[in-house]
Structure 1
Amino acid sequence: MLPDTKTTGAGDNPESDAVHQKLPLPRCAALGLQHVLVMYAGTVAVPLIVGGALGLSKADIAFLINADLLVAGIATLIQALGLWGFGIRMPVMMGVTFAAVGPMIAIGLDPSLGLQAIYGATIVAGLFGMLVAPLMGRLLGVFPPLVTGTVITLIGVSLMGVAINWAAGGQPTVTRMVDGVAHAVANPDYGDPAKLAIAALVLLVVLGITRFAKGLWANISILLGVMAGVVVSLALGYMNFDGLSDASWVAVTTPLHFGLPRFEFTAILSMCIVMLITLVESTGMFLALSEITGRRMTPQLLTRGLRADGLGTLIGGVFNTFPYTSFSQNVGLVTVTGVRSRYVAAMAGGFLVLLALFPKVAHIVASVPAFVLGGAGIVMFGMVAATGVRILGAIDYGKERHALYVIAISIGLGLIPTLSPNFFQHLPAWTHPFTHSGIVLGTCAAVVLNLFYHGVVSKERSFLLAARTSHGTE
């Protein structure tokens, strides 16, 4: 007998499901702080990049960061707790999508458009996202376990490059200004043995805690590992708090700070394309969380999550920031800790709002070196990939004889942006949000190839396959 597609089984029982579990406040706060540390660098990177590219003043960039933290916190609260028809009510952390960086810089540098056109396009893109979310939700049938497992594996493998660069101390190349011209040069500190040693220490601390500790200590293994790395970094002089005295104690983010938004067709079209890409990425993240938490995905649940992406983007446009999506780093953290409560994500969202209000505290959090996070990132992103491998391992390859082609080609295409960033450099700029995201590229390839070989899987059969796969049977 097929399961009821209008429910999500035991995963939706508010009294028994770990997703809805309310943890003691101290434990919830520690776990929430852990989520913030993992995603903080990523969430402030976009306003730093965009603000710098557009030549904004230091004060304006600081305002962008505060606005980003505020909206990230609000969007996270909506996703985790739910608001009317918005929010997937799972442990989701929200942050600005990197897919929007290129288009936003292009819009901002265009003399006929500018920063206000970015915000106008972001507002419309948010509305567009909310409108198309139900359509995306109805496409759940094209994500059977073969596609889901492939996408989740690709997410973990793609993110491993991020963790490796973190552990090595940043990017292998840095930008230097020579005679007023930007040049990419090798980063002399990349792979510094001392930094690699600290990243290894963090990894060893995490492994030791997960092996020998239980309860709360095991749940916050990432936080404790990062704290150990911070202590060593401070002792060796690798952490500094430059600029802390310049940061204000309290900051209030006001809407439309840079003036009324402008609604220009070319800018709106560009950001709506970004919004579609964001929804595809979020679908992959939500499917990964569904497998990790055991909460079965339904079209209604997926629609709520994607609709919240649109709402977060709309709020971002009003509050002087950018499009929002679920952060994959934190999907890995849920896997490592085993804590599936959405209230932990909500607590982290509350912390983000507080950080937006108190810039000095935000500055301290931002001072955690990337190489400290690298050791933890290897564990988190590897766990995401392992979840995908587990799903793929439960597939009957005798019955689905073309499955290996779907997996091999999708992962191969999805790794192109990671292994060869310049592979698509001669394609038109409007394709870059698609071709520069391995997750989007691999997800689309997996969906298309699976349709080519196996056709459309009904929603009912997709649910049945997912239920059987999650129990390791076919």
Structure 2
Amino acid sequence: MAETTGTYSDPNTTPPLAQAVPLGLQHVLAMFASNVTPSIIVAGAAGLAFGGPEQIYLIQMAMLFAGIATLFQTVGIGPVGARLPIMQGTSFAFVGVLAGVAATQGLGVALTACIIGGVIHFCLGAFIGKLRWLFPPLVTGLVILAIGLYLIPVAIKYAAGGAAKFQMEAESFGSLMHWSVALTVVIVALGVKFFTKGMLSNAAILIGLIAGYVVAYAQGMVNFGAVAKASWVTSITPLPYGFEFSLGAVIAVTLVSIVSAIETVGDASATAKAGAGRDATDAEIQGATYADGLGTAVAGVFGGLPNTSFSQNVGIVGMTGIMSRHVVTIAGVIMIICGLLPKIGAVIASMPLPVLGGGVIVMFGMVASAGLNVLTEVKMNRRNMVIIAISLAAGLGLNLVPTAVQYLPGVVKTLMTSAVAPTALCAIVLNLVLPEED
């Protein structure tokens, strides 16, 4: 597809259907792998069988509610929705917190925290502009960097063939067979990303995963048993793991929600600038935040993880020059259709761990790189370097050595070992307390 197909700087205009459908598919391809990966990781942390029906269900909900949340953004309901071409998807920012909660307290607690966190996130829309001063590039960059650094070990474990303790003790863990598959994904994804253009380049991770999938299949690593058993139409279950309240989990998810809301403000602003050459209006920023929170709360009720705006899709708007929100509405409808077909979820769930590992090595590395990119806006004087040092040391250090705070109360311990929460808290407090340097 050509990189520029026309001038559609008004969100309410629509390209001809022959262009609009491929453009919508392009948005789906750019975010598809990133959208389903968090659910796979959190399901694994919760101890769900890899490729089992429960994991397939969580994957289905990730696709279904990414589509529904996208429609909240593009079509809108009253004040909800920016009505800009913003693609929603499952957020990586919450993976660290939710994986930890799911592993220690169960998916019921994790999803309940998502519902409550989504409601709080929704309420942030009323005064999101007044909170932006708490999250300058120094704070948001640190939080995003901490998320990426926390997740990279998970990527390496998957690439080597496992994530759970018993899998890492297996003889095959770290074998050449596993690494050959993971490296196939990485090499193909990089090749496609940097040596092709347009739709192919935007779908680089997805194409890399398909290549790794083929190599894994050739080595006898793929089992299609679950695909054959999966039904053609999904059944949606409210509160599939019950409603279990944990204050620590809610606080941790809410802290990440605030950061996610600030990211959405940035994405809304970037979309308006890239597609129309203007600043986003206050109503658009508020509507984008409302849609974020509503999408997260509704998804949580049915087993979906928190949703947020996807920055890579902002890049597509800038690349194509197509500002039409209706193009992204088509993308949302495609995701809803995928979410209603369990066969698709079963195919994704049949993906061997090394295939997924190769993909998330790139994805998680890019999350960390995005954090570094935000930090390039920060002047590296002694004050800011101290804030970076202490925030990362506290956040990542306590996560790596959780027994260091084993005597803290449960709520506080959950927060202190979540990586993201202590990094954010330290960065915010130190940025407010330490005097600026000339």
Cα deviation code 1:272-315 (max 9, x no counterpart): 43552341341464377579867778876654444334323432
2:303 counterpart letter in structure 1: T
Q: Which 10-residue stretch deviates more, 165-174 or 130-139?
A: 130-139
Cα deviation code 1:67-87 (max 9, x no counterpart): 554334322432465443334
Q: Which 10-residue stretch deviates more, 91-100 or 209-218?
A: 91-100
The aligned residue for residue 42 of structure 1 is 38
Partner of residue 69 from structure 2, selected from 62, 69, 75: 75
Shift of 1:363: 0.5
2:299 paired with 1:321: no
The aligned residue for residue 89 of structure 2 is 93
Shift of 1:218: 2.2
The aligned residue for residue 422 of structure 2 is 441
The aligned residue for residue 5 of structure 1 is none
Distance in 2, Cα, partners of 1:79 & 1:417: 37
1:224 counterpart letter in structure 2: I
The aligned residue for residue 411 of structure 2 is 430
The aligned residue for residue 189 of structure 1 is 172
Distance in 2, Cα, partners of 1:364 & 1:309: 28
Shift of 1:205: 1.6
Shift of 1:450: 1.0
The aligned residue for residue 365 of structure 2 is 382
Gaps of 5+ in 2: 1-6
Partner of residue 385 from structure 2, selected from 383, 391, 404: 404
The SS at the match of 1:243 is: helix
The aligned residue for residue 356 of structure 1 is 339
Q: Which 10-residue stretch deviates more, 93-102 or 363-372?
A: 93-102
Mapping for residues 96-135 of structure 1, pairs under 5 Å: 97-98=94-95, 99-100=97-98, 126-135=118-127
Cα deviation code 1:354-389 (max 9, x no counterpart): 233221222012212232233333333333333333
1:93 counterpart letter in structure 2: G
Distance in 1, Cα, partners of 2:14 & 2:135: 28
Is the 8 Å Cα contact of residues 219 and 339 (structure 1) preserved in structure 2? no
Closer, same or farther in 2 for the Cα pair 1:75/1:135, shift >3 Å? same
The aligned residue for residue 229 of structure 1 is 212
Distance in 2, Cα, partners of 1:17 & 1:159: 38
Cα deviation code 1:186-239 (max 9, x no counterpart): 344332221112211221222222333233332222222112111111111111
Shift of 1:140: 0.2
Distance in 2, Cα, partners of 1:155 & 1:120: 22
Question: Size of the alignment, in residue pairs?
Answer: 412
The aligned residue for residue 4 of structure 2 is none
Closer, same or farther in 2 for the Cα pair 1:153/1:238, shift >3 Å? same
Is the 8 Å Cα contact of residues 335 and 380 (structure 1) preserved in structure 2? no
Closer, same or farther in 2 for the Cα pair 1:334/1:59, shift >3 Å? same
The aligned residue for residue 286 of structure 1 is 264
1:42 counterpart letter in structure 2: P
Partner of residue 174 from structure 1, selected from 156, 166, 170: 166
Distance in 2, Cα, partners of 1:380 & 1:103: 22
Q: CA RMSD in A?
A: 4.3
Is the 8 Å Cα contact of residues 32 and 344 (structure 1) preserved in structure 2? no
Partner of residue 248 from structure 1, selected from 231, 247, 272: 231
1:74 counterpart letter in structure 2: I
The aligned residue for residue 401 of structure 2 is 420
The aligned residue for residue 10 of structure 1 is none
Gaps of 5+ in 1: 1-13, 110-114, 176-184, 456-474
Distance in 2, Cα, partners of 1:159 & 1:297: 32
Closer, same or farther in 2 for the Cα pair 1:126/1:377, shift >3 Å? closer
Partner of residue 432 from structure 2, selected from 444, 447, 451: 451
1:414 counterpart letter in structure 2: G
Closer, same or farther in 2 for the Cα pair 1:299/1:450, shift >3 Å? farther
Distance in 2, Cα, partners of 1:162 & 1:335: 27
Is the 8 Å Cα contact of residues 156 and 357 (structure 2) preserved in structure 1? yes
Closer, same or farther in 2 for the Cα pair 1:304/1:254, shift >3 Å? same
Q: Which 10-residue stretch deviates more, 332-341 or 278-287?
A: 332-341
The SS at the match of 1:93 is: strand
Cα deviation code 1:22-52 (max 9, x no counterpart): 7652354244135222332422554676695
Q: Which 10-residue stretch deviates more, 291-300 or 64-73?
A: 291-300
Identity of aligned residues (%): 32
2:350 counterpart letter in structure 1: S
1:388 counterpart letter in structure 2: G
The SS at the match of 1:372 is: helix
Closer, same or farther in 2 for the Cα pair 1:289/1:248, shift >3 Å? same
2:28 paired with 1:32: yes
Q: Which 10-residue stretch deviates more, 218-227 or 41-50?
A: 41-50
1:357 counterpart letter in structure 2: L
Shift of 1:137: 4.2
TM-score (norm 2): 0.75
Is the 8 Å Cα contact of residues 51 and 61 (structure 1) preserved in structure 2? no
Mapping for residues 454-465 of structure 1, pairs under 5 Å: 454=435
Is the 8 Å Cα contact of residues 91 and 307 (structure 2) preserved in structure 1? yes
The aligned residue for residue 277 of structure 1 is 255
Closer, same or farther in 2 for the Cα pair 1:47/1:401, shift >3 Å? closer
Distance in 1, Cα, partners of 2:280 & 2:425: 19
Is the 8 Å Cα contact of residues 121 and 290 (structure 2) preserved in structure 1? yes
2:154 paired with 1:154: no
The SS at the match of 2:69 is: helix
Distance in 2, Cα, partners of 1:288 & 1:370: 33
Distance in 2, Cα, partners of 1:379 & 1:60: 26
Shift of 1:335: 7.4
Shift of 1:423: 4.1
